[in-house]
Amino acid sequence: MMTLLRRLLIAALIAGSASGALLGMAQVAFITPLILEAEVHERRDSSRQESAQPAWEPGIERNAYTVLFSTLGGIAFALLLNAGMLLRGRPGIKQGLLWGCAGFAAFSLAPALGLPPELPGAPAADLLARQTWWIGTVLATALGLSCIAFSRQPWVRALGVVALVMPHLIGAPGGMDSGESPVAHFERAFVAASLGTMLVFWVIMGALSGYLQDKLLAANKHGASLARPA
């Protein structure tokens, strides 16, 4: 019989690899051109004070690394998502879609409300402060969604709502005025492309994970019934 760990690994590897590879290709198609344009502006701006250093020009190697690291990241996120689904014990495409949307909300949408994806050359606050707020927002959003979705106790759900809004009440670390940025004129396109590709990534990963877990569970039950003595 297929163990829970084996089921988790199979579903996570397939769903994470597929969704991660698609994310990488989408980033190459829609996000990399914006990053390259921002790098041109950044080098042009820095060259006024000092000689610009040779940059890593776009090409097959850069795009291949983008797809590779997106695939590895997809597998890591799929392991988390599939572990959560296994703990709940109700696999399926519908459940997978819900888990995928929750993952998008926790890891992409909620942090972006305070710290939108940033292009090279855009003004930003201190890196450690941003990382701390981002991690705190992800954890608080995951906790809040869990309290609301998995509990019937009113006070637990109320605690979930508090967890959802608390990071935004505290506020993300502030940066410089976006009008000072040399890439401000296409930052909105970059934010939209980043969030759009992440939404597709999470939805596909969630749906695939739910589908695969459902099929693997059915195969496991079928194998167990055949193994029973007559």
Identify residue 57 by its one-letter amino acid code: E
Whole-number pLDDT of residue 223:
57
12-32, pLDDT tens digit by residue?
Answer: 999 999 999 999 999 999 999
Query: What span, in angstroms and rounded, lies between the C-alpha atoms of 185 and 22?
Result: 28
Give me Rg for the CA atoms of the chain.
21
Residue with the bigger pLDDT between 111 and 219: it is 111
Whole-number pLDDT of residue 25:
96
With b for 16 or more beta-carbon neighbours within 10 A and e for fewer, the 148-165 pattern comes to beeeeeeeebebbeebbe
pTM of the model: 0.86
The answer, yes or no, to whether residue 58 has pLDDT greater than 70, is no
Place of tokens 């950044």: 42
The pLDDT of 218-223, averaged and rounded, is: 68
The residue among 69, 7, 20, 24 whose CA lies nearest residue 205 is 20
Whole-number pLDDT of residue 2:
57
Q: What is the separation, in whole angstroms, between the first and last Cα of the chain?
A: 18
Domain coordinates in residue numbering, the chain: 4-45+61-124+175-227
155-188, pLDDT tens digit by residue?
Answer: 999 999 999 999 999 999 975 454 456 666 678 8
Identify residue 175 by its one-letter amino acid code: G
Whole-number pLDDT of residue 52:
44
Whole-number pLDDT of residue 216:
87
Whole-number pLDDT of residue 54:
47
Give the best-scoring range by mean pLDDT among 58-67, 96-105, 115-124: 96-105
The answer, yes or no, to whether residue 55 has pLDDT greater than 60, is no
The answer, yes or no, to whether residue 227 has pLDDT greater than 60, is no
Helix, strand, coil % (nearest 5) of the chain?
80, 0, 20
Query: What span, in angstroms and rounded, lies between the C-alpha atoms of 95 and 209?
Result: 9
* % of the chain beyond a pLDDT of 70: 80
- Count the helices and strands in the chain (H runs, E runs): 8, 0
Place of tokens 């590709």: 197
pLDDT band at 71; cut points 50, 70, 90: very high
116-161, pLDDT tens digit by residue?
Answer: 998 876 677 788 999 999 999 999 999 999 999 999 999 999 999 9
What is the pLDDT of the chain when averaged over all its residues? 85
Whole-number pLDDT of residue 184:
67
Identify residue 108 by its one-letter amino acid code: S
The answer, yes or no, to whether residue 224 has pLDDT greater than 90, is no
User: Which two three-digit tokens encode residue 185?
Assistant: 């004129």
Q: For the ranges 110-114, 131-135, 216-220, which has the lowest average pLDDT?
A: 216-220
